[in-house]
Structure 1
Amino acid sequence: MTKFVFVTGGVVSSLGKGIAAASLAAILESRGLSVTIIKMDPYINVDPGTMSPFQHGEVFVTEDGAETDLDLGHYERFITPKMHKANNFTTGQIYQNVLRKERRGEYLGKTVQVIPHITNEIQNFIIRGAHAAGDPDIAIVEIGGTVGDIESLPFLEAVRQMSLRLGANNSCFIHLTLVPYIPSAGELKTKPTQHSVGELRKIGILPNVLLCRADRKIPEDEKSKISLFANVPINAVISVWDVDTIYKVPMMLHKQGLDAIVCKTLDINPKPADLSAWEEVVEKLENPKDVVKVAMIGKYDLADSYKSLNEALIHAGIHTGHKVKTTFIEAEELEKNGTDCLKEMDAILVPGGFGKRGTEGKILAIQYARENNVPYLGICLGMQLSVIEFARHVCGLGGANSTEFQPDTPHPVVALITEWQDRTGKKEVRTEDSDLGGTMRLGKQEVPVKAGTKAHDIYGDVVAERHRHRYEVNNSYCDQFEKNGLVIAARTQGENLPEIVELPQNDFFVGVQFHPEFTSSPRFGHKLFNAFIRSAAKYRDEHHKE
């Protein structure tokens, strides 16, 4: 039977529950246990697919096409199993499911209430997540939000009930809390943690472990004080301090015995942990051969908006022996001030995104990369904009654009399939009155790669990556593109849609319609990003080496 570890957070949000849960999972996996992680989000949105990157950060996409919380990206980067739709659910999904059942009469006319109907449904979703993962030894359940928030209460009540139903030694509660340092007092303050644990105890949850976040190591005196007032053994008060890389966290937690406490609480005795792979990752991170500078031309300046992409570049540095220094450049600044700021860069990357704002600045950066043979990688929108730039400045198609940004463009080189192709009898990609959620090409898709291309050198015969987009490169223009030197290195089967484009006359100029960042990990890296960073290092040696 699967045993469950419930991870809650207190005092403030953004303390790193996702990293803590993923790190614990990595340690337990290294001990030979099968593990999955489930994230419960307390917002009423059905999923984060239509939420602003400024508010929520990136949307992570699973192999089966679920648009999920970004923490699922952390989970996949730390453990071997892939996440799926069942690994993330929201308050919106819970209420949606309960209301459907009520409309179908499944509650036999009873009054539908938060307790027991909502809390039972939450438990069903948790069990569903573990079952979908193959009923692993341990399921770690991260509860979004902060203890004390109204919206989190049904989740907390549900896991309290669930722990009773599971019985002794089948559940463990870990509470992540803040121990702030007050400079004017010159000391760490434990009172917020005491209050946070008090809130948990009021609703009947007694934490087995406290993970205490601080900007420094917590001394034994403060640990002892927390132990006394929170009624948690001192060895279960674990210090989690700021580190220069999240990939040190598994070793930090293991050295303080977190996995041993969890295993004892769950009454299991697996083999000792082997974190040598993580130690190797950290060793490579801390001892790079040199630095390469990558310009990321984006429009969302929130750090979490490009979380997986930033991590993928770090992973490429690990596997190529370089420290990747990523400089975020606001696309609108290029529109105002030109591309001089790109002259010191070793490579240029344009990520995915939605909406017209900043697109002309991104096109300027792409033109600069193409004309100056600067290594270029375009992802999703970055590929589409590279096609638009090529259409305008190489093919002579003045005013070429995407119908997403200019519906009346004279040359719709990027558009919805329904805008250039008769789709009679087939399911349309999107209609005018359709919801925004669920109208995209989503999830993993396998596509053959053309031999003799750079993409084939990187991926081999088949590329299998994840998608999140509505608009496609317009097939009606592809012959013209190819006559002018753009190589379409991969096309989808069936609809024959461009998946990868490249310019063979450049050392590295590649655009991909998918999101390779979702499949990169620190231990295994990613072939495409590795090739990109190697090309950036070559460019640096030729142009910027002192």
Structure 2
Amino acid sequence: MTTDTPARTPRHTRPARIALVGDRSPHVESHVRIPRLLDALASRDGLVLDAYWIPTADAAAEAASGSLARFDAVWVLPGSPYASEAGALAAIRTAREEGIPFLGTCGGFQHALLEFARSVCGLAVGHAENDPAAEDLLIAPLACSLVGHEGLVRAEPGSLAEAALGAEQSLERYHCNFGPDPRHLPALAAHGLRLSSHDGDGQLRMAELPGHPFFLATLFQPELYGDGSRPHPVVKALAAAAVAHAAATG
């Protein structure tokens, strides 16, 4: 079977519902590409997703009401600083605690680490983009900006990162100025977060949560892969997880 063979959505299952959490903007290239990526997932791979955009300002209320828990996947998108840090964190926590397939990209990666550090590790840490005066930063300015940068990432053997990428290493595109402070990463790993992919300099680029159906965060932006006509393997992996969740939950 070739990699282009569609993984068809079973006819008896309902369409998988995915929450696209982010502050949608025509000026964010990743956002502009989303409709085309969803179309390509359906036409190329048979992975049909019923997508709903949820602004971060609404996400906390959606999580509190239980509405967010009824989705089959949560994707926290690039485009930070978010209108509501609390909303982004609430969406991530819901996906983590409810076993909902989750992908966090760029800002979503940063906030996935922030949510885990605060909620699971009990660390009083901040994000420099949201609160530059915070006493202790988990997400800090990068020494070298990754805006427009391409770089090789290497996934740990046997990790979800490797399975989602479909390879041990991959060339990826970035558009960010912030990343995790290495000082805090041992605490995250000690509490169960797997730091599963790094660049050539050993800097963290992907993280995941073992034991969760699908919980993956990438500092790079898979939305920027190619010309947007073929979904990145990580995006396809999330879509497949969403379809599986819909099939399992009816």
How does the TM-score come out when normalised to structure 1?
0.41
Q: Which residue in the other structure is 1:477 paired with?
A: 184
- 8 Å Cα contact 2:120-2:191 kept in structure 1: yes
Give the 3-state SS of the residue equivalent to 2:149 in structure 1: strand
Structure 2 counterpart of 1:469, one-letter code: C
How many residue pairs get aligned? The number is 240
State the Cα distance separating 1:405 from its structure 2 match: 0.8
Give the 3-state SS of the residue equivalent to 1:343 in structure 2: helix
* Mapped partners of 2:119, 2:88: distance in 1: 14
Higher relative helix content: 1
State the Cα distance separating 1:383 from its structure 2 match: 0.4
State the Cα distance separating 1:524 from its structure 2 match: 4.3
* Mapped partners of 1:365, 1:516: distance in 2: 20
- 8 Å Cα contact 1:458-1:531 kept in structure 2: yes
1:168-193 alpha-carbon deviations (Å, 9 max, x no partner): xxxxxxxxxxxxxxxxxxxxxxxxxx
Structure 2 counterpart of 1:385, one-letter code: H
State the Cα distance separating 1:468 from its structure 2 match: 0.5
- 8 Å Cα contact 1:508-1:535 kept in structure 2: yes
* Mapped partners of 2:245, 2:42: distance in 1: 15
Give the 3-state SS of the residue equivalent to 1:396 in structure 2: coil
Kindly report which structure 2 residues correspond to 1:108-257, keeping only aligned pairs within 5 A, or say none: none
Q: Which has the higher contact order (CA 8 A, sep 6+)?
A: 2
Over 3 Å counting, the alpha-carbon distance change for 1:478 and 1:331 in structure 2 is: same
* Mapped partners of 1:497, 1:293: distance in 2: 33
User: Which of residues 209, 213, 217 is equivalent to 1:511?
Assistant: 217
Unaligned runs of 5+ in 2: none
Task: Tell me, yes or no, if structure 1 residue 538 matches structure 2 residue 244.
Answer: yes
State the Cα distance separating 1:376 from its structure 2 match: 0.2
- 8 Å Cα contact 1:445-1:465 kept in structure 2: yes
1:38-72 alpha-carbon deviations (Å, 9 max, x no partner): xxxxxxxxxxxxxxxxxxxxxxxxxxxxxxxxxxx
Superposed CA RMSD: 2.5
Task: Tell me, yes or no, if structure 1 residue 357 matches structure 2 residue 64.
Answer: no
* Mapped partners of 1:382, 1:337: distance in 2: 17
Task: Tell me, yes or no, if structure 1 residue 445 matches structure 2 residue 171.
Answer: no
Over 3 Å counting, the alpha-carbon distance change for 1:468 and 1:304 in structure 2 is: closer
Q: Which residue in the other structure is 2:197 paired with?
A: 490
User: Which of residues 39, 50, 61 is equivalent to 1:325?
Assistant: 50
Structure 2 counterpart of 1:342, one-letter code: L
Q: Which residue in the other structure is 1:296 paired with?
A: 20
State the Cα distance separating 1:530 from its structure 2 match: 1.4
State the Cα distance separating 1:483 from its structure 2 match: 0.7
- Structure index of larger Rg: 1
Kindly report which structure 2 residues correspond to 1:302-341, keeping only aligned pairs within 5 A, or say none: 306-336=31-61, 338-339=63-64, 340-341=66-67
- 8 Å Cα contact 1:501-1:510 kept in structure 2: yes
Structure 1 counterpart of 2:208, one-letter code: E
* Mapped partners of 1:325, 1:297: distance in 2: 14
* Mapped partners of 2:113, 2:248: distance in 1: 27
State the Cα distance separating 1:303 from its structure 2 match: 9.6
State the Cα distance separating 1:348 from its structure 2 match: 0.2
Over 3 Å counting, the alpha-carbon distance change for 1:292 and 1:462 in structure 2 is: same
Q: Which residue in the other structure is 1:396 paired with?
A: 122
Over 3 Å counting, the alpha-carbon distance change for 1:525 and 1:333 in structure 2 is: closer
Q: Which residue in the other structure is 1:198 paired with?
A: none
Give the 3-state SS of the residue equivalent to 2:148 in structure 1: strand
* Mapped partners of 1:456, 1:337: distance in 2: 32
* Mapped partners of 1:522, 1:471: distance in 2: 24
How does the TM-score come out when normalised to structure 2?
0.87
State the Cα distance separating 1:486 from its structure 2 match: 0.7
- 8 Å Cα contact 1:312-1:521 kept in structure 2: no
Structure 1 counterpart of 2:222, one-letter code: P
Matched-pair identity in % = 22
Structure 2 counterpart of 1:513, one-letter code: L
1:389-428 alpha-carbon deviations (Å, 9 max, x no partner): 0000110113x2211111232331100145xxxxxxxxxx
* Mapped partners of 2:37, 2:51: distance in 1: 11
Give the 3-state SS of the residue equivalent to 2:174 in structure 1: strand
* Mapped partners of 1:447, 1:322: distance in 2: 26
